[in-house]
Amino acid sequence: MDEEEINQEMKKSSSVDLACTTAVEIIPDPRFSTYLKNVAELREAEIVLLREVQASFVDKFQTGGGVKVQRMEDGLLHVKTRLLNRIDSEEFKMPVLLPKSHPMVLQLIRDAHRNYCHAGVQFIMGKLREKYWILQARKTIRSVIHNCSTCRRFESKKVE
């Protein structure tokens, strides 16, 4: 190995790094100037949609199976889980209560199913329970996955 050649290569790479870092410091990137504002707006829009979903079923709501429900300051009904003493996010400790058959809930399940590469019922239920508590979740998720054309294609038997 030629040490002189190695040293020349090292000098090239360090000057490129220097040029890149100076360019980033000099030119501000305006694309992300309102990033935090947009996240707050998205969160507020999500809360408004969830309020509408809950308003459509709150009159028919019955707490079955020992589900403890509490209305929080955001106006949403949250389920008190056994994880209240755990050090974790509030969304995880007290997920938002959602009905089983609302079109938005079914769309949430479809999106999670697609985003997690057509995962199964248990996985999707675990991921959704991090934020949402869907009544009769297993049955609802199973029916959505059963209607997934991609999953049905791979589960079908060959015609002989």
Total domain count, the chain: 1
What phi and psi values does residue 85 have, to the nearest 5 degrees? Answer: -85, -5
Q: Note whether residue 148 is domain-resident.
A: yes
What phi and psi values does residue 29 have, to the nearest 5 degrees? Answer: -100, 110
Q: Note whether residue 26 is domain-resident.
A: no
Q: Which domain holds residue 111?
A: 34-155
CATH number of the domain to which 103 belongs: 1.10.340.70
Candidates 154, 155, 151; CA nearest to 117 is 151
Q: Note whether residue 28 is domain-resident.
A: no
Q: Note whether residue 145 is domain-resident.
A: yes
Q: Note whether residue 23 is domain-resident.
A: no
Candidates 96, 146, 92; CA nearest to 120 is 146
Q: Note whether residue 67 is domain-resident.
A: yes
Q: Model confidence over 29-60: pLDDT tens digits?
A: 555 555 555 777 788 888 999 999 998 887 66
In eight-state DSSP terms, residue 31 is G
Return the higher-pLDDT residue of 122 and 151. Answer: 122
Average pLDDT score over the chain? 78
Over residues 71-92, mean pLDDT: 79
Q: Note whether residue 94 is domain-resident.
A: yes
In this predicted structure, which of 13-22, 71-80, 124-133 has the lowest mean pLDDT?
A: 13-22
Q: Note whether residue 5 is domain-resident.
A: no
